[in-house]
Structure 1
């Protein structure tokens, strides 16, 4: 039985190949060749696993690393999010009888703000069609956390859905980071003056659910810190 289990080890095959090609790694040159082959093989193996995981979970981004503190205290920098397709999102839903794909949030919604403990005017409620949604409920009710690519920064954003909007031209989401110190407005609440964005919004216009990269199904704490150290500092 033990002999059969070795075939489940993906490195068994590369070990066998290297022994046939170079023999046992005794000399420095042979050890270097072993390390080169191990490195290339590991990268290929990681790529294959990543792609297979994406196929299983139905998304092109099955794993995402939290790179900022915008979702604290729910998630922290270095956490890895396991992502699936953005189906069956959990959130309050409002239906609106208009097209909103190219509308600023202020054109069809009213926001109420309140000074929070960090001294920021944080969004408290959003009103659409005389329906008022409490933003804090998104956290308390554990609304879905989704990943989308910001059309302002080009970066992947991992934030919580605060509202789903059924509009004439599709289904959309509004999102926000949980951290009231750094993210106190709705991501799509863009104040525009001329050709410039004058506040800290992350995405002009509501996000069509078809453009979401996925939703979080599992959190793995801290193991993404190596990636942050190597690539972001």
Structure 2
């Protein structure tokens, strides 16, 4: 009943105004994200590390910042790539490179620092190298453990709904 009382006290106009402000904040955040994407030449300028395959360089929950320059990738660089048929990008280090003399295309062999073998088992069946075009971004910075929030929200759906419900209640009672 407290929610209905809050709606009666604040009025429908006030609640609609709060909704529009919230949509404005979301729209602004999206515009900033897309602007950063253009400047970094990455469809996603930040990713969260989801596994321990890159320990001790990066741990689960670290947020990595990416760019995607067109210069050739060097051995030792940490890249984020996508494999055909898999939705989740992989963050691993480049162990070897190969440039095709005829086409000039660069091919890469990657490996997680904490993995005993290279990534050929992760690639598409029969694939021995990752093409440069599959590289999603190159890591240039990180913030440790900040991404654990998103991991918890995706691993525990009830937590996501509890947070959303709490934010809704907070916005209703905040305007009192």
TM-score > 0.5 by shorter chain: yes
Structure 1 partner of 2:143: 220
Tell me if 1:41 matches 2:24.
yes
Q: CA deviation at 1:177?
A: 0.7
* Uncovered stretches (5+) of structure 2, i.e. residues with no partner: 1-8, 157-176
**Contact 1:59–1:214 (Cα < 8 Å) also in 2:** yes
**Contact 2:94–2:111 (Cα < 8 Å) also in 1:** yes
Aligned-partner Cα distance in 2 for 1:28–1:222: 41
Q: CA deviation at 1:89?
A: 2.2
Aligned-partner Cα distance in 1 for 2:89–2:25: 25
Instruction: Give SS of 2:110's match.
Output: strand
Normalising to structure 2: TM-score of the pair? 0.72
Cα deviations across residues 127-166 of structure 1 (Å, max 9, x unaligned)?
xxxxxxxxxxxxxxxx111111123533211111111111
Structure 1 partner of 2:172: none
Change (3 A) 1:90 1:28: farther
Larger radius of gyration: 1
Tell me if 1:178 matches 2:113.
yes
Q: CA deviation at 1:167?
A: 2.3
Aligned-partner Cα distance in 2 for 1:145–1:72: 12
User: Quick one: which of 202, 206, 210 aligns to 2:122?
Assistant: 202
Structure 2 partner of 1:155: 88
Structure 1 partner of 2:161: none
CA RMSD of aligned residues (A): 2.0
**Contact 2:72–2:106 (Cα < 8 Å) also in 1:** no
Correspondence 1:1-233 to 2 at 5 A: 27=10, 29=12, 32-86=15-69, 87-91=71-75, 143-151=76-84, 153-168=86-101, 169=103, 170-179=105-114, 183-188=115-120, 201-204=121-124, 205=127, 206-233=129-156
* Uncovered stretches (5+) of structure 1, i.e. residues with no partner: 1-25, 92-142, 189-200
Instruction: Give SS of 1:213's match.
Output: strand
Normalising to structure 1: TM-score of the pair? 0.55
